[in-house]
Amino acid sequence: MQQQVETWVNQAKKGDQQAFYQLYHQFKGRVYAICLRLLADRSQAEDATQEAFVRAWQQLPGFRGDSSFSTWLHSISSRTAVDIWRKNKVMRLVVDEEPEEQGYFDAPEMPQLEQAILRLPAQARAVFVLFALEGYQHNEIADLLGIAEGSSKAQYHRARQLLRSWVDEN
Amino acid sequence: MKTEQQLDAMISQLAPALEPQRDLWPDISARLEPRQRRGYGAWLGVAAAAVLTLWFWPQQLVQVPQLAQNGPVAVSNEPQVQQAEAQVPMANADVSLLAVSEQLSRQLNEEQTRQLKALQKIPDGFSDWSQQIAIWNKAQAQIELALAFQPDNQKLIQQLQRLQQQQLSYIAKLVETSELT
């Protein structure tokens, strides 16, 4: 599969949209997962996924293969979702103290922890997803989200506490 | 309450991928621009965007001028004037932005000239392109020098914008004509 991905990447670099479609088909689930977990909103996650792939297409000629395509695409996806997250943050009128109401966690097909992540307050959720699921360090998260490193650690601790209590509810 | 270990175990079992509920490809596909060879057309677009961004960003509330329809702005052929390298005290951020924009503008001009020299065939009517470019460059340098002393002079700023737009339009027409011939 890795070799096949490399072939598609090389073809897409040259402008082959069909090859890029194959890459989209292969990675759309992972990209969407990052976006949904960060944004906790299905519509925004879809928009972010589309934007991430458009950015990937635009930046692909500069992709040199220093990391795997998957890692590279993950990075673009995280940053794209964070960009939207930051816009949302500006739009937020109330302090992020209470868990937000989202429509998505009614989805019974989703695992319990998945639903609980989507219930987290925005900042705690973003820190948790980036640290626990995407492998970012707290200093990197602080830069990405525009918060202090100490806040990132505190929000992560808070997220874990909430998740432990919520998951136990059911 | 779950223990930390139980939570970690649940995290490790999360699916790496979640499928979107609708097909996102059509919208993505519609936004994919075809790859272009690094030709003059693409380069001119970047150049135009750079110039316009540099000028419209720092000036706030400056009215966007219409693209000038007549020829180059009359510029006196005064003796050579030292260009914007002249060391002029600059006190505020606007002036710093101006200096940066002038630097980039000069780099842009150098790049324009380099690209134009690479044209294989100069179309009829453009044989004096280098002189034309030189006139615009000289005019812009003089306005930049004046702006170093009067960085808030809106008329000077607008005149410089017009010159840059004229120059870009001229080069665009030259390249377009060249590609057609």
- The rounded distance, in Å, linking the Cα atoms of A42 and A52 is 15
Domain A1-91 and domain A99-170, same fold? Reply is no
Supply the ipTM of this predicted assembly. Answer: 0.85
Higher pLDDT, A66 or B122: A66
Q: Which one of A24, A113, A130, A169 makes the best mutation probe of the B interface by having the most chain B beta carbons within 10 Å?
A: A113
- Ramachandran bin of B60, using left for φ above 0, alpha for ψ from -120 to 50, beta for the remaining angles: left
Contact B18 A33 (CB under 8 A): yes
CB B133 within 8 A of CB B116: yes
- B158-165: long-range contacts (C-beta < 8 A, 24 or more apart)? B158/B62, B158/B63, B158/B65, B159/B73, B160/B55, B161/B55, B161/B65, B162/B65, B162/B67, B162/B68, B162/B73, B163/B72, B163/B73, B163/B136, B163/B139, B164/B51, B164/B55, B164/B105, B164/B140, B165/B51, B165/B65, B165/B67, B165/B68
- The rounded distance, in Å, linking the Cα atoms of B118 and B175 is 11
- The rounded distance, in Å, linking the Cα atoms of A37 and A35 is 6
Domain count of the fold of chain B? 1
Looking at residue A21, its pLDDT comes to: 96
The minimal CB distance from A14 to the residues B19, B31, B35 is found for: B35
| C-alpha dihedral sign at A169, B2, B8, B12 | negative
Residue type at A82 in one-letter notation: V
**A114 — contact with chain B (CB < 8 Å)?**
yes
Asked whether residue B37 carries a pLDDT value surpassing 60, the answer given is: no
* Range A132-141 average pLDDT: 94
| C-alpha dihedral sign at B39, B44, B45, B47 | positive
Domain that holds residue B167: 37-62+92-180
Contact A32 B18 (CB under 8 A): yes
Domain residue spans in chain A?
Answer: 1-91, 99-170
Asked whether residue A79 carries a pLDDT value surpassing 50, the answer given is: yes
Q: Which one of B1, B3, B5 makes the best mutation probe of the A interface by having the most chain A beta carbons within 10 Å?
A: B1
Contacts of B21 in chain A (CB under 8 A): 42
Looking at residue B143, its pLDDT comes to: 83
The DSSP call for residue B22 is S
**A30 — contact with chain B (CB < 8 Å)?**
yes
Looking at residue A49, its pLDDT comes to: 97
For A12-66, write each residue's pLDDT tens digit.
Answer: 999 999 999 999 999 999 999 999 999 999 999 999 999 999 999 999 999 988 8
- Work out the minimum CA distance from B75 to partner chain A, whole angstroms: 42
Looking at residue B35, its pLDDT comes to: 77
- Minimal-distance CA residue of chain A relative to B9: A113
Residue B46 in domain: yes
For B126-137, write each residue's pLDDT tens digit.
Answer: 777 777 888 888
Residue B99 in domain: yes
Mean pLDDT of chain B: 70
Asked whether residue B22 carries a pLDDT value surpassing 60, the answer given is: yes
Contacts of A34 in chain B (CB under 8 A): none
Higher pLDDT, A65 or B121: A65
Give B44's pLDDT tier (boundaries 50, 70, 90). Answer: low
- Minimal-distance CA residue of chain A relative to B30: A54
| Total beta-carbon pairs less than 8 A apart between chain A and chain B | 84
- Work out the minimum CA distance from A33 to partner chain B, whole angstroms: 5
Contact B25 A165 (CB under 8 A): no
Contacts of A21 in chain B (CB under 8 A): 25, 29
Looking at residue B54, its pLDDT comes to: 62
For A86-126, write each residue's pLDDT tens digit.
Answer: 888 776 654 454 545 444 455 667 788 999 999 999 999 99
- Work out the minimum CA distance from A169 to partner chain B, whole angstroms: 8
Cα A142 from chain centre: 15
Q: Phi/psi of residue B150, each to 5°?
A: -130, 70
Fold of domain A1-91: Rna Polymerase Sigma Factor; Chain: A (1.10.1740)
Looking at residue B99, its pLDDT comes to: 65
Give B27's pLDDT tier (boundaries 50, 70, 90). Answer: very high
Contacts of A112 in chain B (CB under 8 A): 10
- The rounded distance, in Å, linking the Cα atoms of B17 and A37 is 11
- Give DSSP secondary structure letters for chain A: -HHHHHHHHHHHHTT-HHHHHHHHHHHHHHHHHHHHHHH--HHHHHHHHHHHHHHHHHHGGG--SSS-HHHHHHHHHHHHHHHHHHHHHHH--S-TTSPPP-SGGG-TTS-HHHHHHHHS-HHHHHHHIIIIIT---HHHHHHHHTS-HHHHHHHHHHHHHHHHHHHHH-
Residue B96 in domain: yes
Looking at residue B43, its pLDDT comes to: 60
Residue B25 in domain: no
- The rounded distance, in Å, linking the Cα atoms of A118 and A130 is 14
Contact B20 A165 (CB under 8 A): no
CB B164 within 8 A of CB B44: no
- The rounded distance, in Å, linking the Cα atoms of B176 and B40 is 9
Give A8's pLDDT tier (boundaries 50, 70, 90). Answer: very high
Lowest-confidence region among A35-44, A158-167, B101-110, B161-170: B101-110
Asked whether residue A138 carries a pLDDT value surpassing 80, the answer given is: yes
The minimal CB distance from A15 to the residues B19, B31, B35 is found for: B35
Asked whether residue B86 carries a pLDDT value surpassing 50, the answer given is: no
Cα B144 from chain centre: 16
Cα A163 from chain centre: 18
Asked whether residue B50 carries a pLDDT value surpassing 70, the answer given is: no
- The rounded distance, in Å, linking the Cα atoms of B132 and B171 is 10
Domain A99-170 architecture: Orthogonal Bundle (1.10)
Looking at residue B3, its pLDDT comes to: 86
Percent of chain B predicted with pLDDT > 70: 52
* Range B151-177 average pLDDT: 80
